[in-house]
Amino acid sequence: MNPAPAARDPHHQLETLAGTWNAHGKPSGNGRETVRRPGTGRWTVPASIACVIGTRASAEWSIEWFAYHAEATGLFEKAYARYREDPWPLLTVMNKTFLIVADIASRDPVLADRLEKALAQPFAVLLLNEERLQTRYKVATYLPSSRLEDAVLALEPHVPWRKGLLARRAKLYEATRNPRAELAQREHDRYLKKESEDRRSPTSRPGAPAGEPEPGEPGNNTSSHG
């Protein structure tokens, strides 16, 4: 019997991957696991998908971690291509995928390269555009400076007011002699000044609080400077 169309649909596969990853937590190991379901025998599947199939009580990791993450990266590439055409995805699932992408990118620069390219173009009707751009930046931090610069430039002119991002942007633009280097340094200095003022006067909030998480995490509210 041929599989149902949804089973072959990369968009559906990505939603399954994202849903199980976020519902159950990322796999405790890297690779694949063999799972058993009553009456169905044993078969090997990507670890995060295994949560859909059955209990993870008996797991046998059979291949190196790269193969699993490379397969997941392929699903993201296909699904993000669909997101550029389909303006009606499940936004809750779509948003959760960004955390997985950032995690995969941190594990291997080859996969980071592929994922950055997959995020470089906007989705249909600019869906979750800020989240996409910030995740692209997060992924690009594992790539050469020229690629990182492209990702940071895509956030201009309203760069998220985050300490780590502003510091990296100022240092990067200075190294690459970007025309915005002076502005980037002024804005970083401005952030540090306001952070210092906040510590002396905790009741005022002229800027984002110290310790704000880095961009790219699903659910983060982005704030922009004027």
- Written as one string, the DSSP assignment of 39-66 is TTEEEEEETTTHHHHS--SS----S-HH
End-to-end CA distance of the chain: 58
* Residue 137 near residue 164, CB atoms below 8 Å: no
pLDDT of residue 198: 86
Q: What is the pLDDT of residue 59?
A: 33
Per the prediction, the chain carries an average pLDDT of 74
Tell me the C-alpha distance between 71 and 216, whole Å: 22
For position 107, what pLDDT does the model report? 87
**pLDDT value at position 213?**
46
What's the CA angle centered on 127, arms 107 and 52, to 5 degrees? 55
Question: What pLDDT was estimated at residue 176?
Answer: 96
Q: Does residue 82 register a pLDDT over 70? A: yes
Q: Is the pLDDT of residue 13 over 60?
A: no
The 10s digit of each residue's pLDDT in 140-149 is 999 999 999 9
**Statement: the pTM of the whole predicted model exceeds 0.85:** no
The pLDDT score that the predictor gives to residue 16 is: 58
Omega of the bond prior to 202 within 30 degrees of 0, cis?
Answer: no
Residues 6+ apart with CB under 8 A from 77: 114, 115, 118
In tens, the pLDDT along 207-222 reads 544 444 444 333 333 3
Domain ranges of the chain: 5-129, 156-226
Q: ∠ at Cα 148 (142, 153), nearest 5°?
A: 155
32 and 47 in contact (C-beta within 8 Å)? yes
Calpha distance 81→13 (Å, rounded)? 13
HSE at residue 70, side-chain half, CA atoms within 13 A, is 7
pLDDT value of position 195: 92
Q: What was the pLDDT predicted at 47?
A: 46
Average pLDDT of the segment spanning 158-169: 96
| 8 Å CB contact between 137 and 155 | yes
User: pLDDT value at position 49?
Assistant: 42
Span of 134-138, 141-145, 149-153, 204-208 with lowest mean pLDDT: 204-208
Q: What beta strand segments (E) does 61-186 contain?
A: none
Of 48, 42, 44, which is closest to residue 28 (Cα–Cα)? 48
Alpha-carbon distance values, 5 to 8, 12, 23 (Å): 5, 9, 24
Q: What is the pLDDT of residues 28-61, one digit of tens each?
A: 344 444 433 333 334 344 444 444 333 333 333 3
